[in-house]
Structure 1
Amino acid sequence: MGACVREPIIAIFAASPALASVLSMVVAGDPKLRVRVFDSAVSLRAYMRIAPISVLVCDCDREDVDMPAFVMSLREDPDAAERRFSSIALSRQVSRSFKRQIDASGIDEVLVKPMSPRHLLERVHARLARRSRSPSSPRPRHRPLEWGPNVVELFPGGQPAL
């Protein structure tokens, strides 16, 4: 008998049911992935205590959750089934303070909305590929943030003088 290979679980925690529906439909189109949609931080945390997830797609535009702090708390939760998961944040805006929060939280990358759900699927596959190359290496708590190809730094030399 061979070892049981589980499909990666992709958790989607979006700001609106409509966005969650579109994203989950596209990601679930890949038969090698299982998708779970969460409408609250409580339900996501409860699920993560009984089942491991591979990638968390979280929407930083939710008004009810400070997403960087929430993701950090998930990574530090001693009762979580798996604390080593990849994370992709979605956001309408990216400021310097937001970049610092994201970097400190351990979120792996940010996609700026609006973006194609197919682009999200590509990034999920990239995260899973990176994860499978180094399954046993511990994840550093703080590391430089990877910005996707759709993020353009407005002031590469620093903030302009006013």
Structure 2
Amino acid sequence: MTINELRFDCRQKQRGDGSVLVIVPRIDGAPLTELIDSFEIDAGMTPAGDAYGGLIPQFYRFGPMEDHFRGLSTDAMGPGTPLLGCECGEWGCWPLMARITVTSDLVIWDSFKQPHRKTRDYTTFGPFRFELRQYGAALDALISAISSDTT
């Protein structure tokens, strides 16, 4: 069983006359946006490529990020947690959803879906398995980055 490494990129992005914090998960060093773009393009899905962007917490009340990335924050589009939003900045426009399962020693991201294209098959994308301690450290770093951004 492969164990993956999770990090979060937190970057400011210009939007209108201000900037917003954008969060993109990185799996084994690669942005999730690039991983899903490659998967969808290779699978012949259309549209595909440059469709996804990071989550923008100030655009939607995800709740605490530590809860969100443990799969506890929303059932807004049925079961699943948005890991990415649309490249336009709105997560509901074109989200990448996944099931997040937390066990005693792992966090697993699987059952990926694009809810606006129900016929798409993501069964060979993932699953991604993270060691619980490393996942917790990545969440701690994310929370620290968010709090330093808001102060």
TM-score interval for Structure 1 and Structure 2 normalised by the shorter chain: under 0.3
Bigger-Rg structure (1/2): 1
- Of Structure 1 and Structure 2, which has the larger fraction of its residues in strand? 2
After TM superposition, the score normalised by the length of structure 2 is 0.27
After TM superposition, the score normalised by the length of structure 1 is 0.26
